[in-house]
Amino acid sequence: TRGFARSSGGPPSSETPRDKAKSFVISIGHDPRVAQGVVDALADAGLSGEALLSTVRSMAGRWEVGEDAGLETLVASVKQQIALSEGKAVVKFWCVPPG
């Protein structure tokens, strides 16, 4: 009989895809509260499991070379929501073209 080869990786991680997504956002330089907000926002939009993790990584783009694919915009929104929840003042301005 012939046996099957098995890879001998480490023990399976108890970290969920949601935990991994949060860890990834933290690993690229964001505050843990911001990372949690990003994950929560995507989960509220209906993403879960591996799709959530994949979306976070995809939105990060090629972050190593400064190319973003939407994550920084979501991070800015989360930071604004955190500031509002802390009672910080909001500044609004309008740009009106000449004419």
Q: Would residue 6 count as lying in a domain?
A: no
Q: Would residue 48 count as lying in a domain?
A: yes
Q: Would residue 7 count as lying in a domain?
A: no
How many domains are there within the chain?
A: 1
Give the range of the structural domain holding residue 48, as residue numbers without chain letter. 17-85
Q: Would residue 63 count as lying in a domain?
A: yes
Look at residue 14 in the predicted model and tell me its pLDDT: 85
Residue written as tokens 């990003």? 38
**How many residues make up the chain in this entry?**
99
Q: Would residue 71 count as lying in a domain?
A: yes
| pLDDT tens digits along 5-37 | 444 455 567 889 999 999 999 999 999 999 999
Residues 47, 55: contact at Cβ < 8 Å?
Answer: yes
Q: Would residue 31 count as lying in a domain?
A: yes
Instruction: Please list the residues that pair with 67 across neighbouring strands.
Output: 62
Q: Would residue 98 count as lying in a domain?
A: no
Per-residue pLDDT band at 70 (split at 50, 70, 90): very high
Q: Would residue 1 count as lying in a domain?
A: no
